[in-house]
Structure formats: structure tokens, C-alpha cells
Structure 1
């Protein structure tokens, strides 16, 4: 069962383009991690001010293995940076719906 991790990042006003540039520079940095299935960066446009960094993993174990292998100074995801003033990790499992 796939798992989805969403980092909700609060970014100071006017810093969004810099955050996006940092993510673009590291776009494929997680691609080779075992169990990594996908990545999206969502820019807020209405009703929300936070950016959402969404990653999908084949299993919780794959995510935890990747997380534990990062060095302490390595960002938490592609393009992560000290630009965010606050971050919250939201965690989900993908529900496989029966036909």
C-alpha cells in the first residue's frame, strides 16, 4: 500500500519564487531512492498560503529508510530549504478502492 507524505511549508511573503527555484535545482534528487513513487510541489493560489510538498512512497518502510539515510544537514526533500518559517508533516495511506 502506497503512503503519501505532505510537508506543509509556511513561506514568507515574496519568497515563493526562491523556494520554487530551490526545488527545481534538486528536482530529481530523490528519484533513485528505493520505493520512491513521485513528487509534486503545490503553489498556493486561493484559500491557502502554504506550499505543499507531496511525495508518494511504496511503503512506510521505504520512506523511513530514505529519511534515516539523509545526513543531518541535508534538506527534508527535493528543494527544501531554510526559507520556510514553519513546516508540518501530514501522513496518509492510499486507500485501494474495490470495484
Structure 2
């Protein structure tokens, strides 16, 4: 059964488009990651300023292995990689939610 991780990212008013651009620029960065099944970035349409990043994984271990990897550190600006200048974070806060699929239709 797959594991679902949802990162709820709250952004300042008017900053959501920048979040979308950053995700689009790194669209293929997860290719080849063991256990990674896909992701979606959901943009709010009801006036909220919380965007949802939904990722699907084969297992909890696959997610944790990625989360503890250099790939994760690099994609989240947590390394001193001179090849890519650090960008100021778009989000003001983030909350990670964990789910498994209960029923499919």
C-alpha cells in the first residue's frame, strides 16, 4: 500500500506563483528516486494562502530515505552548493501530514 505525504505550505499573499515556478523548474528532480511514485502541487482556489504538495511513495522507508538524502538537502536549499545560489524560502510555514490509501474508486 502506498504512503501519501502532504506538505501544507503557507505563503505570503501574492507569493504562490513563485512557489509554483520553483516546483515547475525542478519538475524532473525526483526522477529515479527509489520508491517515489509521483507528486502534485495543488494551488488554492478559495482565497487561502496554503498550497499542498502531495507526494506518493511505495513505503515509509522510501520517504524517510529520501528525506535524509543529499538530494533532499539540495532541493530544499540546505547545502552550500556553489553551483546554485540559495533562494529565499517562499513559504512562511509548512506542516507535514501523513496518510495511507484507505479506499480507492
**Could you say which TM-score interval applies, normalised by the shorter chain?**
0.7 to 0.9
- Structure 1: stretches of 5+ with no match in the other structure: none
Equivalences for residues 1-99 of structure 1 within 5 A: 1-46=1-46, 48-70=48-70, 72-75=73-76, 82-95=89-102
Structure 1: 4+ residue segments shifted above 4 A = none
Secondary structure of the structure 2 residue equivalent to 1:40: strand
TM-score by length of 1: 0.84
Distance 1:17 1:33 in 2: 26
Q: Say how many residue pairs are matched.
A: 93
Secondary structure of the structure 2 residue equivalent to 1:82: coil
Distance 2:36 2:73 in 1: 20
String of CA shifts for 1:50-94, please: whole Å, max 9, x gaps. 000010000001101111113645318xxxx71000000000111
Root-mean-square deviation (CA, aligned residues, Å) is: 1.9
TM-score by length of 2: 0.79
Distance 2:40 2:6 in 1: 9
Alpha-carbon shift at residue 32 of structure 1 (Å): 1.1
